Each structure stands twice: as C-alpha cells, then as structure tokens.
Structure 1
Amino acid sequence: MLAACTTQTQTIETQSPLRALPILQDYDVSAQTGFVPYPQPLARLPQAYYQPWEEIMDHLNSLMASRQLRARIDTMPQLTISHLETYPERQRAYTILCFMAHSYVWGAGLDIAQSIPASLAVPWQAISDVIDIPPVLTYASNDLWNWKLKDPNGPYDIENLSTLTTMTGTSDEDWFDIVSVAVEVAGGSALQPLLDAMQAVRDDDLTTVTQNLNRALSHLQKVGKLLEVFYWRIRKFLAGSENLASLGLPNGLEYKGVNNNERKHLMGATAGQSSLFPALDLIFGIEHYQTSEPTRQNNTNSTSLTTQKTPNALLLKMKGFMPGPHRAFLDHLAQVANLRSYVLSKSADSDPSLAVTDLVTAYDACLHQIKLFRDTHIQIVTRYILTQAKRGPPEGWEDYRVKTEQTVPAAITQAPAAAAAAAAAGSSQEPEEPAIQGTGGSDLMPFLKTNRDETNASKVQQVSAKK
C-alpha cells in the first residue's frame, strides 16, 4: 500500500521568491498521471540485444516455481547498457534487473542467496548509476514503472490497470501493486491545480487560489476511495538487504563484479519511497518531525509519543530511493512552497470575508482528504500486516516460508486481536500495537499514526481555534 510518507519542508523565510515554480515535465512528472509515466511505461525493450533479459522475464514465475531461475541467471550473458537509447528504455532495464535480482535472492524458499552473479550485478549497478537510483527493488521499479493499460485507449482507472510483472504470478500481488499505481494517478493529477494555486498566491488572486484548491480536492477525494494475502507470499520479495539477519541475509548482499564484490545494505521497496505524498506535504506545508519513544506523562499511566523539532530521519532516507528527477522536483517545491503561509495570513483577520472563509474551507478540505487516506492506510496495515504477523503463515505454504520464530516478536503473537477487530468494524479506536517493521524499515504504527496526526493538526481552522 501506499505508505504515509513526506519530506521535510523548508520554512517560508528560507524560500526564494524569485525562483520560478516547477514545470512538471522538467522533472519526469505528468499533469495527467503524476509520478507514473504517461501514457504508460515501456512494456519490453525493443533491441534484440536485450532479449536474454526479456526472455527470463517472460518465464519469471515458472522459472522460480521449477527452481531453475538461478541456474538461468548464472549462465546469462553479461550485457552492457550502452544500447539503451531513451529514458523509458532505461526505466525498463532497471525494472527488469530489479525483478530478476530479488527473485534470484528470495525465490527459493529458505535458501536465501547471499550474492548475485556479475552477469546481473554489473549491469544493474551501471543502469542505477545512470538513472540516479540505488540498485535494489524500489517503489519506482515495483510500481511506478511496472504497469500497463488493459485497453490502451481506455481510462486510467483501477479497472483498466494491470501490472507488467509480478514476483508470484498471483492476482493478490497484481492487486497490491495496481492499487498503489491508481493512487499515484489519482493524487498525481492534483499536482497541476496545486501549482496553479501557488501561482495565484504569487498574484494575490484569492479567488483563483480557492478555485484551484477545489480542483485539486476533486482529485484527492478519489485517493482515499482506492484503499478499501499480501504478508506471507509477497512481502519478502520487496525486502532489500538491510537489517535482514532474521530473514536470512545477516551480512547484506554481495554484488559480484561491482567494486570488488561489494556488499550492500539497502532498504527494500516501500511506498514510503513514493514522491506523491511528500509533494503534497510540501505544497500544503505539513511538517513531520522525528518521534521519540513513548514516555510517561505527569506520573500517570498514560503514554504518548513526544516529538522533537528535528527532521524525520527515515523519511529523509526514503527520499534517496526515489528517482533522481522526482527528488529534484521535491527540492524545487521546498524552495517555492507558499500556499500555507498565504492561507494563514488571509485567515488571521478577526472578521474574515466570505471569500477568505471559502479559501480556508477548501484548503482544510484538501488536508482532510490526505488525513482520511492515512486513516485508511493505518486500518489496512493493521488488517493485512499486524494481524497476519500474529497468526503465522497458513498451513501448506512452506514454499513461501520465512523464519517466523525470529521475525515475529513474542509480543506480536501474544497480543490480542483488538486492532484487527476495530479495523473490520470500521472503529476509529486504535489500540496500542507492538512494534513491527515495514519493508522500508519503519516501526509501522507510530510512524503512520504520527504522520496522520501531523496532517490533521495542520488544518488552518484548528490552528486558528488554538489562538
């Protein structure tokens, strides 16, 4: 699922009022589909030279099922990336190599490969250097660049989207990935109206700011509606090579032929590497800080997360796993974001006009949609990750085993199923959950809940009420 993620915003005082607003196309961002390619990613490399890669991808699931994938990759010719001519071709090559590498490592039950052969590692490192993204399965390769339109002339709706490749060949994995793509498309189409709103702020055109916020709202409302048998089969393939001793990679992963057979420790694919929500957080001025451990308050039995005014280190780390152009887009946004300061300044009047009231209402409505998405994401994580961790793998799934005695803490297996019941009943109550990490290395529930709460606290009407 799309994780609730952001990057740290810059304060208004450090922004340069002279820098032009970003143009989406300059950063490989589409006005129609946001951070996913438009009209759609390249489905196959056209050069015959790369057919050894594509042929493996054609039979990836069956090669894994028959335990022939590693032998096939071990004898694969070591190709260069010099024949890749366009950026979509480079995206496709990176995606292919990510899928082959993670299938090679994780695709044989408990026999976890500790290294990958030079025929795979060398071109993987080379293409990663060219497109400025680490050589590990990322959200970009697993989701952004791994989908197609079932009907090329049809709409960009979830019913018309399908993955190009999955690790398991299951409809579950296809659904999991396509929901993320659909969220990206729905949310990404709000970016241009929001940039138009930022331009209207520069022009001090209050009416146009409000109109564009309402345009963005119509897109953001679609996002939450898109999140309404992931854990044991699919989740391990998304793991990287960092802090994974419990899953069978105690020393990272060796990339043969790369920097004297370098061992890398890299986080795996997580929707926290999406650029969509960081962009929205920057535009709306939602700030996220490092959270501390739960602490006792005033000699009572209650606990709460306290915050420090330091950037969230995990969120900043995730930014390094985004495509280079998308990172540059976020950096540009951080320098020109002006929407929150404008709305706050207009709402400061003790007797605001109807136009100002409409402005604040539209701004807060957009924030509320982001908050609702994060609410739903917490419920989904509770149902599909925490609950599955408590239960253990289903009988007969030995082929997809993980070392559950190490990866599932005792607190998980002993905890009551209150959170799952609350999620199933649609309850807003959120009982405390024991710590469990996401594929990106986050302590899931405190991470998600804090991001959600900070989003809600950014509503202007709440800020005004506290004064």
Structure 2
Amino acid sequence: MTARSQATNTQKRPKVQCSATTKQLLFNQVTPDRAFLPAQDPLLRLPPGLQAYEDALQELPKLTLGSPGFLRQTLQDLPCFDLQQLPALASCDTAQLLQQLPPACQCYTAAAGTSSSSSSSPQQSTADVLRSFPSCDAQLWRAYMVLAFLTHGFLWCDGPGVPSVLTQLLAQPFAAVSAAIGMPPVLTYATYNLMNWRRLDPAAPLELGNICCQHNFFGGMDEEWFRLIHVAIEAAAAPAIAALQPLQQAALQHDAAAMELHFAAITSALQAMQELLARMGERCDPYVYYKRVRVPMSGWRNNEALPQGLVYEGLWGNQPQQLYGETGAQSTVVHALDAALGIQHTKGWMQAYLTDMRAHMPPSHRAFLHQLEQEPSVRDAVQALAQTTTSSSSSNNNSSGSNKSSSSSSLVEAYDAAIAELERFRSQHRAFAIAYIAQWSKKEAKEVGTGGSDFVPALSAYKDATAAHKLAGSSSSSRGCPLHS
C-alpha cells in the first residue's frame, strides 16, 4: 500500500457520530476544565433522613480506635438505609434493581458497556450507556460513596479477622445504589478520589494547597495526602483530556499544525502530572502507606483474606462475589490517552485487566473512552502524513520539499514526545508502587496490589508497551524519573 493510499484510508475510516444528547451528557460529565473530576464540587451531605449514615462516616476514623468488634457492631446498629430518601430512587422499583446480575457477572462482561479494543464492538452504544443510568445524580453518587466507605470500614478497619459476609444492612442499599448508577458494589477510584474532596476556599482554584478530603478510613496526613495527590493529578490532566477529541478531528482533516499543538498540550499536561506525583513523599510516608493507608482499599478478588470472595447477605443466592478493589488503574486518564494515541496492550492478560478496570469507571467515563476508540487513528494519521510528505519531498529538490520534510519530522517528534512523557509517567508510577509496596512486602515482586493484580510485571509491561509505540524509535526522555520518598 502506498503512503498516499494509507492517508486516504485513514481519512475514510467510518466515524461514529455522537447525538446532541450524548454530546451534552459527555460535556456535563467529562468537562474541558476538570476532565474526569465532577463538573461541580462533590456533594457534602445526604438528605437529613440519612443523617445516621453520614454521622457514622464522619466518625469512622474514631470508630477504628474502639475495641475489636466495636466498629462493626456500631454499623450494624444503624437504622435501615431508606432508599426513598433519594429522589432519583423514590419512584424506582428497588427490588428489581436487586434482581440484576451478580456484580461479578455484571462488571466483567461486555454488558458493562465497555469495549476493550477498537476492533471489538460493545453491546451498548455510547448513548445507550449514558441513558441507562442516572449517573449525573449527585445524591446517588454521594450515597454510593457513603456506603462504599462504610462497607470497606466494616470489612477492613476493625482489627484482625475479615468477615466473609457483608451485613444485609449495608449490602442491600449498597447493591441497589450501585445498580442505579451502573457501578459495582465495591470501593472504586471514583468514590475514593474523584468524589471525595472539597475546596478549602470555594473561590480559589482546585489544586494542592486548597483541597482536603471529605472522608478518611483511619485518618491522618498520609492518607489525606495520598488521595489529594491523585485529585490534583486528575485536575492537571484536564488540558490533555480536552485536547484528545480536537486532536482526532485534526487527524481526520490531516491538519499537521493543529495536531502538533494538541500533542504539545498533552505533553505539557503529562509533565505537570509527573511533577505532582513526585510530591507524594512530602506528606505520605511509604511505610505508613503500606501498613495502614492501603489496607481499606482492598477488594475481594485475588485476595488471600477473602479467597472465595464476599457474600452480600440476602443477595444473589448468598453466593460469594469477587470484585477488584480500588486502584489507580481505574482512573480514566491513562486509558483515554492510550485510546487517542493508539497504544495497544497486546498481551491478553494486560488487555483483560484493563478492560476489567473500565467496569469500575463511571458510565460517562466508559462512554468517553468508547467514543475515542470509534474515531480514526491518530497514530495512523501521523504515519501517513509523514510517509506522504517524505515521498513528496524526495521527488522535489526545491525549498518547498525541504519545508515539507521538516514539517513531517516535527509532527513525528511531537507525537513521540507525548508518548515519551506517557512512558515516563508509567515508569514513575511503577517506581512509586515499588517504593510504597514491594519494598515492604516479604513477597516483594509477588505482592498483589489493592486492585488484585500482580502489579510489578503489570506496570513494567504497560510502560514497555507504551515505549514501543514511538514512531522514530527514540529513547525515553532524558529527564530523570522523579520520585520523592
């Protein structure tokens, strides 16, 4: 195939159009200013009728100081969670919600409305995913966070021994709210980080120094800082996420100059993200993180403490369900960059795990990823433009040909610069994971992360796969990999 025909094929790839409704939903939930953080600051309280649950969550760090069993008994003594207090569920048949597929089946199949690669077609369209769930309802997301924190506190924060059955008092409302918003009944990155912050000064920017966590498990600076670094990284990623769809449109139009500008925005945002991650050690000690902060994030899949999984009392025939815990792999940022930049993780286990992680993302985030994957390949467009320009310049020895060759080179360099910074971010994340987890574990490289993965080889493989996508075959950025510890 000639370079020119490659360019033509890239231009003619079918484009899936978003309806006006879908575009509006995406705009409301994935915004240029905040990307995957809520467009409005997260809700601080549920309606007064659910105050007992809010009070228990507020007291959670104090309850962990009680005698063994005190925290669990306190939570079991709560009144029933009245779903009718949530307007979005007031007219909903909650019994029908609870009859949905068990979460282990619902989340890790195509029914989750997510596509693991651009070559496969999901069973639900982008618009269908968004219409299926009232995922923009702030009270539902608040209820989801409250119940997730109390559930994980019940399981992991009350001394030795982990119950294999989640009390019906928490299990049933947690399952109902989760089903209503299209999420699994387990702590996720969205509830742990994206929805769990507030600004100290509501009029000041969303950035480190002006944010704090709404809620904690054990409390303390290390836990707060760990979470706030992630919130700040999500905010810093916004310029990159805002550039992705315009980048794809520029690729469709073969506008090399516009593509370079969007690549530069992505590169700059990734550098800002690295600078923030490098600050983790300022207030989050690796040993404290390993021994205390990470414990409540654990799920019940690939977890020795719950080898069969967790029984949600009274649900799904009381059969144990296995769900991954909270992990940074559930952040949509890097998934979106992979999708737009054309990075493929070809090893089956890598792709399977990343697909599973999508089921733990809010439906609007899944829809955003799906939409990115339907667009023409940016990587193919860069290659086609470079080859077309090179072919043209070789047949013309005038100055115009030289300018075209230079333009081709700068486009490839701009693409590779973005890839290099994404590789560096993944390398930095791997170094952080080793410093904060592996070095404290007797199992070291075999230590399983809170998301249930054998994280050291996984993070190495993701980094290597990213590096392999550089078009010019250049080495990683010469800047060091900052990690404060």
- For Structure 1 versus Structure 2, the TM-score category normalised by the shorter chain is 0.7 to 0.9
1:26 corresponds to 2:23? no
Change beyond 3 A, Cα 1:50–1:14:
farther
Any conservation in 1 of the 2:252–2:381 contact (CA below 8 Å)? no
User: Which of 72, 78, 81 does residue 80 from structure 2 map onto?
Assistant: 78
Shift of 1:54: 0.6
Q: Number of residues paired by the alignment?
A: 392
Shift of 1:96: 0.5
Question: What is the CA–CA distance in structure 1 between the aligned matches of 2:151 and 2:85, rounded to whole Å?
Answer: 21
Shift of 1:23: 4.0
Shift of 1:120: 0.9
Question: What is the CA–CA distance in structure 2 between the aligned matches of 1:378 and 1:259, rounded to whole Å?
Answer: 37
Any conservation in 1 of the 2:11–2:376 contact (CA below 8 Å)? no
User: Which of 346, 363, 367 does residue 289 from structure 1 map onto?
Assistant: 346
User: Which of 410, 413, 434 does residue 361 from structure 1 map onto?
Assistant: 413
Shift of 1:328: 1.6
Cα deviation, 1:420-451, whole Å, max 9, x if unaligned, reads xxxxxxxxxxxxxx322111121111111111
Residue of structure 1 equivalent to 2:429: 377
Change beyond 3 A, Cα 1:217–1:270:
same
1:235 corresponds to 2:236? no
Residue of structure 1 equivalent to 2:461: 450
Letter in 2 for 1:452: K
Measured on the aligned residues, the alpha-carbon RMSD in Å equals: 2.4
Question: What is the CA–CA distance in structure 1 between the aligned matches of 2:469 and 2:86, rounded to whole Å?
Answer: 45
Residue of structure 1 equivalent to 2:215: 165
Letter in 2 for 1:116: L
Shift of 1:356: 2.3
Higher helix share: 2
Which range moves more in the overlay, 190-199 or 88-97? 190-199
Residue of structure 2 equivalent to 1:318: 357
Unaligned runs of 5+ in 1: 1-10, 292-309, 391-408, 413-433
Any conservation in 2 of the 1:78–1:118 contact (CA below 8 Å)? no
1:258 corresponds to 2:315? yes
1:329 corresponds to 2:376? no
TM-score (structure 2 length as normaliser): 0.76
Residue of structure 2 equivalent to 1:35: 36
Shift of 1:266: 0.9
Unaligned runs of 5+ in 2: 1-8, 88-135, 279-287, 394-403, 476-485
Change beyond 3 A, Cα 1:70–1:15:
farther
Residue of structure 1 equivalent to 2:159: 109
User: Which of 15, 22, 30 does residue 17 from structure 1 map onto?
Assistant: 15
1:277 corresponds to 2:334? yes
Shift of 1:90: 0.9
Correspondence list, 1:44-83, <5 A:
44-45=45-46, 47-67=47-67, 68-83=70-85
Correspondence list, 1:430-441, <5 A:
434-441=445-452
Q: Percent identity?
A: 32
Change beyond 3 A, Cα 1:378–1:12:
farther
Match of 2:311, SS?
strand
Correspondence list, 1:94-133, <5 A:
94-133=144-183
Letter in 1 for 2:321: K
Letter in 2 for 1:17: K
Residue of structure 2 equivalent to 1:136: 186
Question: What is the CA–CA distance in structure 2 between the aligned matches of 1:288 and 1:18, rounded to whole Å?
Answer: 23
Change beyond 3 A, Cα 1:24–1:64:
farther
Change beyond 3 A, Cα 1:17–1:238:
same
Higher strand share: 1
Change beyond 3 A, Cα 1:322–1:15:
farther
